[in-house]
Amino acid sequence: MDPSTREVETKEIDIKSVSSSQGHSQRYPQNEPYMHKVGIPPKQNLFKEFKTTVKETFLADDPLRHFKNQTRSRKFILGIQAIFPILEWGKDYNFTKFRGDLIAGLTIASLCIPQDIGYAKLANLDPQYGLYSSFVPPLVYAFMGSSRDIAIGPVAVVSLLLGTLLQNEIDYKTNMAEYRRLAFTATFFAGITQAALGIFRLGFLIDFLSHAAVVGFMAGAAITITLQQLKGFLGISNFTKKSDIVSVMNSVVKSAHHGWNWQTIVIGASFLGFLLFAKYIGKKNKKFFWVPAIAPLISVVLSTFFVYITRADKEGVQIVKHIEKGINPSSVNQIYFRGDYLLKGVKIGVVAGMVALTEAAAIGRTFASMKDYQLDGNKEMVALGAMNIVGSMTSCYVATGSFSRSAVNYMAGCQTAVSNIVMSCVVFLTLEFITPLFKYTPNAILAAIIISAVLGLIDIEAACLIWKIDKFDFVACMGAFFGVVFVTVEIGLLIAVSISFAKILLQVTRPRTALLGKVPRTTVYRNIQQYPNAAKVPGVLIVRVDSAIYFSNSNYIRERILRWLTDEEEQNKTVNEQKVQYLIVEMSPVTDIDTSGIHALEDLHKSLEKRGVQLVLANPGPVVIDKLHASHFANIIGEDKIFLTVADAVSSCSPKPVEEV
């Protein structure tokens, strides 16, 4: 090709490559003014820089944006509204909205009442505490929360987790009073934790529990819960306190020959069948969503009536027996504020609070994006925290958003958090008047309801998807799952978190790097493993680094590059090819570099000099260029050794770039 075109091209490339996006510059062959625009970007004011960093970290969602240039009084009103969003959306609340909320509220109420009674058992608490937790917290949330679709109340996983953790400290069988007090204490500090995370804008911390880990954890919890239900389902009297599959199966088998009760099994099995069938219908046809929603209540009513007339409880069918009548008693004076139970309560509360938060946040996020309204994660946390703090003082245990009920709530056409108010009104009436009717409700039904509910937590599709997308995620997922199923819920959680962290560390310690080759008939340089037909340029080794260069990976990157050089040279020896004279490092993906990174580059440069190999950089981003200059490394290797595209670099390296290979 004739030099003139080459000339022009190079210039074009200059402009093209300085941004990480490419363009059709060939449309404008005459654009000298913009040449070498990469240069050093305008220096930022230090304080400003710092401020933006802090802002992005803690106030990423800029919570005070609405307060900007407002009058004092207006600010105050806005402040109140920020704490109690109901004042904001309450203004334009109308009847149509209310109709939606009413229907939704009634639906989730019918779903939550039987679930609550069952979940309370998971937490080793008396049934009414489940109902209590569906009365106060939803009210509080309705005033403070900003999600329109979330359905508040006790949930299976948190109930199980809380139950396990509390049981580790106090045995509920022998010492119910203290157990309950510790439960309230834990709930209180769960609320404190959630509120604190929100207030200090640390919401992003829950992101460290990766989606994959959550999927695994939930599935594991579902299995564990189902196993726990075998007690009520098979009517086993003496059941293990452990939650892992091995010991549960043991006590099931042990009790096989005497402990089981066929009437219980018949009732349980038949109604479980009914519930699953209802679920199936709901799945089949979205407009029958209400079938699975009310099925639990129906089966409770039917089974209770059935047991009442047949007096099957005399046949050994375990029944709920007694639910305390009346609304939440105060439990303020029951929370431990001193003594060694305080610390235990805090520990349990923090864990339970975080898990509850993860679930609620996921739900809020999902529905917010489905109806497209912004949700301030941190504000949500404050709301959830407040709700649990108030709850802990009114005999509730940790409540949060329930996946299943929120979905029903959404499908039933809820418009605002009013649906939660409706629900809690229904719960209130239940507590006040109809709890006695639950006397003859067989535990088997509750077991069946819980099983059919938690089965929804096992998301095999998601697991498959994770497997397909990211193997490492899958490991985290399985780790969490088996941890929960075979050991305990805490262990599973621990595994999940630590694997997630391990992944982060791995990611920043061992970034991808690739050898680039020239794709025939173009001047594009690509990963030769990805594109086998890409050909190496004799005498030139091109390496791309696929990550920011930080202290945690700088040495690795340095060594990796050097090793590639060594390998290359050894190969060349064997096939006595041209010796490597230039090493081009393609830096497009290197978004940032720190002091250690600069040092690594300097060391690399030194070693290469010793070997008579010239280091060449291609297309470093603005931030990197800036730091290369700040550290004078640019001068060390020479400005003219920093090119704007690999193609440029190559053509400068080898006097005449080889065409076809």
Shortest distance, CB of residue 71 to its own copies, whole angstroms? Answer: 20
C-beta closer to its own copies: residue 296 or 517: 517
Q: What minimum distance in Å lies between the beta carbon of 601 and its own copies?
A: 11
The DSSP symbol for 289 reads T
In angstroms, the CA 464 to CA 353 distance is 29
Rg (CA), the chain: 32
The beta-strand segments (E) located in 82-126 are none
Nearer to its own copies, 446 or 528 (CB): 528
Q: Please, which residue, 17 or 261, has the CB nearer to its own copies? A: 17
- Min dist CB 349 to its own copies, Å, is 24
The tally of CA atoms less than 13 A away on the side-chain side of residue 165 is 29
326 neighbors 135 (Cβ within 8 angstroms)? no
Residue placing its CB nearer to its own copies in the complex, 97 or 503: 503
* Smallest gap from residue 113 Cβ to its own copies (A): 32
Nearer to its own copies, 24 or 258 (CB): 24
Would the CA dihedral through 302, 308, 310, 311 be positive or negative?
positive
Helix (H, G, I), strand (E, B) or coil at 543: strand
CB 485 within 8 A of CB 245: yes
Question: Is residue 439 within 8 Å of residue 398, measured between CB atoms?
Answer: no
Phi, psi of 511 (to 5 degrees): -70, 160
- Quick one: 10 or 167, whose CB is closer to its own copies? 10
Decide: helix, strand or coil at residue 40.
coil
Among candidate residues 196, 635, 103, the one with its CA nearest the CA of residue 409: 103
| Distance in Å, CB of 462 to its own copies, minimum | 8
Closer residue to its own copies (CB): 313 or 603: 603
**Minimum distance from CB of 95 to its own copies (Å)?**
25
CB of residue 212 vs its own copies: minimum separation in angstroms? 5
* Residue 308 near residue 429 (C-beta atoms within 8 A): no
Residue 558 CA to residue 541 CA, distance in Å, equals: 14
**Toward its own copies, which CB reaches closer, 254 or 560?**
560
Read out DSSP for 377-417?
Answer: HHHHHHHHHHHHHHHHTTT----EE-HHHHHHHHHTT--ST
Provide the minimum distance between the beta carbon of 625 and its own copies in the complex, in angstroms, as a whole number. Answer: 10
